[in-house]
Amino acid sequence: MLLTSDAESIEKMMTKFDEDIARVKSECLKLSWYMRGGITYDQVMALSIAERNMISTLVKENMETTKKSGLPFF
């Protein structure tokens, strides 16, 4: 597909890739922050998508539990 694409299509594809990269980096930075030193940014980046999703789910569940219990999160 890339070889037969015009310049505009390639530019759109590259823009989408850049947006995807920025989103993944942001998610990884957030996960490493939420883990409070339990896992570094580099370690999060090395995880599979499934593993990052599992940790994200765990973080969301713990945030909900914290909200319901009234205990401080930070």
pLDDT tens track for 12-68: 999 999 999 999 999 999 999 988 889 999 999 999 999 999 999 999 998 899 889
Confidence at residue 27, expressed as pLDDT on a 0 to 100 scale: 95
How high is the pLDDT of residue 17? Answer: 96
Q: What is the pLDDT of residue 73?
A: 67
Residue 28 CB burial class (10 angstroms; 0-12, 13-18, ≥19):
buried
In the prediction, which pLDDT does 37 show? Answer: 84
